């Protein structure tokens, strides 16, 4: 047995695969390219006398895969050199042909000016190699081999967020498959090179043949799981009710970051309006149903690993949070900036301290904890937990220690659901509810998990 790209394969199977490298399976993506092959986008003519340096002499893009860089550059050079088209015109023509394939595959693409620039970049690179083709230096040979390898790769013009914009799963799979073909073909070329140089097969497979093992990566990045899949596993551990009424509880623990995402500033113009008309009434609603409400906020640190994950969610606009400041037009973009959320959380916490109630409110404030009316919080603060996930479990334990036996925890984060289920095995709670829902009003949608 040998290992190739993280997968065990029999040696005879590898040999058979290599013999048929030139007959690799081509992907049928619904482009109208079936058993008899695709119609060429131009007449496929090959002239032995007019071959293009390092590329051959194809004058049309054809095949049942998305075009490779080599195909695109070949057609560009055919139009530019043989048909005497201007560089800009030739690039425009070949980009039009490329987009026919991508549009039929229903894959969103980059702006046309970016694609044109990519074609011209390939042309500049080719011109540099052709100019120095007489040189027999190691640098020239290495550059030429690297160029040939790159020309066999996908001419990828997919939109940066293509996988998010594509609606159909099959179209997403097709794009990923085209990119995977590029990586697998690189492994094939390495293997063939080893064979032609009388390389040792056992030695070849003793090493990683790809920079990123496919079993652990996706498009060169760590392959991430879908955390929400865990909820289906947890349903067997609790009663699941889609139409569950608001439970009778004596304590509630709220994820503050979830609240500001869920409670949109529909009827508010300033941050003071948001606090007084939207946020505080929601908190008062929870106080009417129980004796104590915990509000736990996230903390945001510049050197945190989580900041990288948050950056992937998109960019926003910095806005100072002050009572008289007009609310941003796009609430979700505002919440993408960590500094905005930090100021907003502090602003709302100050408003919470002004609530008049005979019930108790416990809210985090950075690493500290504020209690209204005042009480001993030395067992809760200071706390260096960055996210509300684990910090909410500390407040859950505090509620149980103070005798609360019917507790509800409100979140939309799968991490917190998992931690909460684990906590019930250690904490003796009569009734424990996790409200896992979205929407402006509490528990109007989603599912409520209970454990008794």
Let me know whether 207 and 264 are in one domain: no
Identify the CATH number of the domain in which residue 334 sits: 3.40.50
Strands (E), 226-367: 239-241, 251-255, 292-296, 360-365
Residue 275 shares a structural domain with residue 311? yes
Are 298 and 441 members of one domain?
A: yes
Instruction: List Cα–Cα distances, 198 to 191, 193, 202, in angstroms.
Output: 11, 9, 12
Name the DSSP class of 336.
T
- Among candidate residues 193, 226, 259, the one where a domain is terminated: 226
Cβ contact 348:363 at 8 Å: no
pTM here is 0.53
Residue 368 sits in which domain range? 228-451
- Note whether 251 and 220 are same-domain residues: no
Give me the number of domains the chain comprises.
2
Quick one: 172 and 270 in the same domain? no
pLDDT tens, the chain, 452 aa long = 333 333 333 344 333 333 333 333 333 333 433 333 333 343 333 333 357 888 877 778 877 788 999 999 999 999 999 899 999 999 999 999 999 999 988 999 999 999 999 999 999 999 999 998 888 888 888 888 889 888 888 999 999 889 889 988 888 888 887 887 555 555 555 566 666 666 676 776 666 666 666 667 765 667 777 777 777 777 666 666 656 667 778 889 999 999 998 899 988 999 999 999 999 999 988 888 888 999 999 888 877 766 666 666 666 788 899 999 999 989 988 988 888 999 999 999 999 988 877 888 999 988 888 888 888 888 888 888 888 888 899 888 888 888 888 888 888 888 888 888 888 778 878 888 888 755 443 333 333 444 44
User: 223 — phi, psi (to 5°)?
Assistant: -75, 125
Separation of CA 184 from chain center: 23
Region of 5 (left: φ > 0; alpha: ψ -120 to 50; beta: rest) is: left
Same-domain pairing of 212 and 269:
no
Q: Do 236 and 219 lie in a common domain?
A: no
Asked if residue 279 lies in contact with residue 256, where contact means CB atoms within 8 angstroms, the answer is no
Q: What is the pLDDT of residues 51-108, one digit of tens each?
A: 788 887 777 887 778 899 999 999 999 999 989 999 999 999 999 999 999 998 899 9
Q: Which residue has the tokens 């509630």?
A: 252
Between CA 16 and CA 14, with CA 172 as vertex, the angle to 5 degrees is 10
The reply to whether 184 and 218 lie within a common domain is: yes
- Check whether residue 207 and residue 265 sit in a common domain: no
Query: Count of residues for the chain?
Result: 452
| Domain boundary, last residue among 171, 202, 226 | 226
CA distance 183 to 221: 13
67 & 163 share domain: yes
Q: Which of 190, 208, 226 is the last residue of a domain?
A: 226
Instruction: Give the residue from 293, 69, 28 showing the smallest Cα distance to 170.
Output: 28
Return the ∠ at Cα 107 (arms to 105 and 188), rounded to 5°: 75
Query: Which tokens belong to 329?
Result: 């037009």
My answer on whether 172 and 265 are in the same domain is: no
Residues 72/74/78/84 CA torsion (nearest 10 deg): 70
Q: Do 15 and 141 share a domain, yes or no?
A: yes
């Amino acid at each position: 047995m040998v290992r190739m790209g993280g997968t065990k394969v029999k040696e005879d199977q590898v040999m058979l695969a290599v013999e048929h490298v030139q007959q690799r399976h081509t992907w049928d993506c619904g482009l109208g390219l079936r058993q008899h092959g695709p119609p060429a986008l131009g007449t496929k003519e090959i002239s032995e006398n007019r071959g293009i340096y390092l590329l051959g002499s194809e004058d049309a893009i054809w095949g049942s895969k998305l075009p490779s860089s080599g195909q695109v550059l070949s057609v560009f050079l055919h139009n530019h050199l043989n048909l005497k088209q201007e560089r800009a015109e030739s690039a425009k023509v070949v980009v039009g042909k490329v987009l026919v394939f991508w549009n039929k595959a229903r894959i969103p693409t980059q702006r046309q000016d970016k694609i044109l620039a990519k074609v011209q970049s390939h042309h500049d690179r080719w011109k540099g190699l052709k100019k120095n083709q007489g040189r027999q230096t190691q640098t020239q040979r290495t550059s030429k081999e690297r160029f040939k390898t790159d020309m066999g790769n996908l001419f990828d013009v997919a939109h940066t967020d293509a996988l998010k914009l594509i609606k159909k799963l099959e179209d997403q799979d097709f794009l990923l498959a085209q990119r995977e073909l590029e990586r697998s073909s690189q492994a094939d070329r390495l293997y063939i090179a080893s064979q032609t140089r009388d390389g040792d097969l056992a030695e070849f497979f003793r090493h990683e043949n790809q920079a990123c093992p496919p079993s652990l990566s996706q498009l060169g990045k760590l392959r991430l799981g879908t955390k929400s899949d865990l909820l289906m596993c947890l349903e067997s551990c609790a009663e699941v009710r889609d139409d569950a009424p608001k439970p009778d509880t004596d304590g509630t623990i709220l994820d503050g970051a979830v609240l500001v995402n869920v409670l949109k500033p529909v009827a508010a113009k300033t941050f003071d309006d948001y606090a007084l008309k939207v946020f505080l009434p929601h908190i008062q609603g929870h106080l009417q149903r129980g004796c104590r409400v915990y509000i736990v906020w996230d903390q945001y640190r510049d050197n945190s690993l989580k900041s990288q994950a948050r950056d992937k969610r998109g960019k926003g606009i910095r806005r100072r949070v002050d009572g008289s400041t007009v609310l941003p037009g796009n609430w979700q973009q505002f919440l993408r900036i960590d500094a905005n959320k930090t100021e907003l959380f502090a602003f709302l916490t100050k408003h919470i301290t002004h609530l008049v109630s005979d019930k108790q409110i416990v809210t985090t404030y950075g690493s500290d904890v504020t209690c209204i009316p005042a009480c001993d919080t030395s067992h809760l603060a200071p706390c260096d937990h960055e996210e509300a996930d684990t910090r909410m479990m500390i407040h859950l334990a505090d509620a149980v220690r103070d005798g609360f036996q019917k507790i509800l925890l409100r979140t939309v984060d799968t991490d917190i659901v998992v931690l909460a289920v684990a906590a019930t095995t250690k904490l003796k709670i009569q009734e424990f509810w996790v409200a896992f829902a979205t929407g402006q009003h509490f528990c109007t949608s989603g599912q409520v998990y209970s454990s008794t």
